[in-house]
Amino acid sequence: MDDLPAQLLDALRKARRVAVLTGAGISAESGVPTFRDAQTGLWAKYEPTQLATPEAFARDPRLVWEWYAWRRELCSAAKPNAGHLALVELEKRFADFTLTTQNVDGLHLLAGSRRVLELHGSIRRYKCFDTGRLLEGEPPHCDNPPPRHPQTGGMLRPDVVWFGEALPEAALMESLRAAREADIYLTIGTSALVYPAAALPIEAQRAGATVVEINPTETPCSKFATFSLRGKAGEVLPAIVQALGE
Ligand code: OAD
């Protein structure tokens, strides 16, 4: 990674309000696969319409359940990496700090970030497919998955947002507020292709924020970014924290 721009460090030192958007790239160094990276991305190997839509679940609930059970295992085995931990440190520095994530792996919360908005839900929670009622605790054992919600009797599904579904309203509204009020907006490890999440850095830029992209490759967001830091989140973020500490 190249040296951090002095102007960026200066802007960060002066900033009061910082908002962040993360995507699958921040968890890549924890061993959680991304979606769109060639070869290793989940959508390079699997067809989203067969696995990540309500129609897919209605058609073949067992297949979808088992695919998410496999991903949940991956996420449960994963540990927060240096990028997640650096964001915990950044949160402590700013009076107003909002972290919006598209990730369902729960690693920001596990790392210790406090104000986390999970825009696409969490693979660590379940809800009833029919009523949306959340399950408290773990799903009951079941020989013929998916198991049923003990209270509603409906099939259990992961509490994640599937294609064609609405995002959690409160998390989206709060993410938009944070983007519009931010002095600095960091967009980290996301291909910036999935809306409405991808609109957040654009909203921030329109409202006058300094937009900083951290990603090894260019994305559609790069043209909105004031600074594009081409590197891994697990290297660039700790470097920022260290530079601010000096
Ligand atoms: P993608 O897989 O689309 O993009 C991952 C991004 O991370 C790419 O731009 C990579 O270049 C970058 N990347 C890879 N390794 C990195 C690293 N070590 N540090 C920083 N960046 C790195 O993932 P998302 O943008 O999160 O939605 O995908 C958005 C949504 O599409 C997901 O939330 C999911 C998916 O379909 C739902 O499931 C609703």
Q: Which atom of ligand 1 is nearest to the CA of 29?
A: 18
Total tally of structural domains belonging to the chain: 2
Looking at the structure, tell me whether residues 149 and 205 fall in a common domain: no
Q: How confident is the model at residue 136, as a pLDDT? A: 93
Q: How confident is the model at residue 2, as a pLDDT? A: 64
Q: How confident is the model at residue 38, as a pLDDT? A: 83
Q: Which residues lie below 8 Å from residue 176, measured CB to CB, with a gap of 6+? A: 200, 203
187-208: pLDDT as tens digits: 999 999 999 999 999 999 999 9
Looking at the structure, tell me whether residues 99 and 37 fall in a common domain: no
Looking at the structure, tell me whether residues 135 and 27 fall in a common domain: no
**Residue 152: which domain range?**
33-77+126-160
Q: What is the CATH number of the domain that holds 149?
A: 3.30.1600.10
Closest residue by Cα to atom 30, ligand 1, is 194
113 lines ligand 1 (CB under 6 A): no
158 lines ligand 1 (CB under 6 A): no
Looking at the structure, tell me whether residues 153 and 59 fall in a common domain: yes
Looking at the structure, tell me whether residues 239 and 145 fall in a common domain: no
Residues designated as active site: 120
Packing angle between helix 6-14 and helix 233-245, nearest 10 degrees? Answer: 70
Distance CA 191, CA 35 (A): 9
Q: Do the beta carbons of residue 48 and residue 121 sit within 8 Å?
A: no
Q: How confident is the model at residue 3, as a pLDDT? A: 86
Task: Give the chain's residues under pLDDT 70.
Answer: 1-2, 246
Looking at the structure, tell me whether residues 83 and 154 fall in a common domain: no
Q: What is the CATH number of the domain that holds 228?
A: 3.40.50.1220
Q: How confident is the model at residue 37, as a pLDDT? A: 87
74-92: pLDDT as tens digits: 999 999 999 999 999 999 9
